[in-house]
Amino acid sequence: MYTLITLHSSYLQVSVFKTQAECLIFVEKNNCSRYKIYQPNQKRNITFLNSFVWSSEKSDFVIDIPKAKAIKKTILREIRSVLFQKLDTAFMKAIETDNLTQKQYIVSLKNQFREITDLDLPDSEQELLDFMPAVFKEVYDLSI
């Protein structure tokens, strides 16, 4: 399968076709001046699709790092909201068992969560894709 990313009338579109010829027909039919056809063996992550900008130099779409960082922060906020619920459950259990150590630990984790979007994020696309705060894993592994 061939992946086609086009920029047409200020809109990005991702399409998948069986053949490269189908991609070219689509490009011609829709009068797309900026496009990139990705071969079946090429993988193009579209997590940061809304940050893609056309690079005439590379004849390809590249990401605008500041926009990608904003997208990553939104993703981190979404994950954080789910994990906050897990922490709330763990905190209630710590209250029920009067476990002061566990309560303090959970408060510490919650404070780290509140500062998640203040972190310095990586400046490369792959590092940004791979970035996940260690505190998220800590909470994910937390037994309740």
Compute the CA torsion angle 83, 111, 130, 62 (nearest 10 deg).
Answer: 110
What span, in angstroms and rounded, lies between the C-alpha atoms of 139 and 142? Answer: 5
Name the pLDDT band for 144 (thresholds 50, 70, 90): low
Residue 33 CB contacts under 8 Å (≥ 6 apart), including other chains: 7
pLDDT tens digit string along 73-109?
Answer: 999 999 999 888 889 998 999 999 999 999 999 999 9
CA 141 to chain centre: 21
Q: Under a CB-based contact definition with an 8 Å cutoff, are residues 139 and 109 in contact?
A: yes
| Residue 3 token pair | 């992946």
pLDDT of residue 142: 65
Query: Helices (DSSP H) in the chain: which residue ranges?
Result: 20-29, 65-96, 100-114, 125-130, 134-140
What span, in angstroms and rounded, lies between the C-alpha atoms of 52 and 43? Answer: 15
Name the pLDDT band for 116 (thresholds 50, 70, 90): confident
Q: Which amino acid, residue 20?
A: Q
Q: Under a CB-based contact definition with an 8 Å cutoff, are residues 120 and 127 in contact?
A: no
pLDDT of residue 19: 96
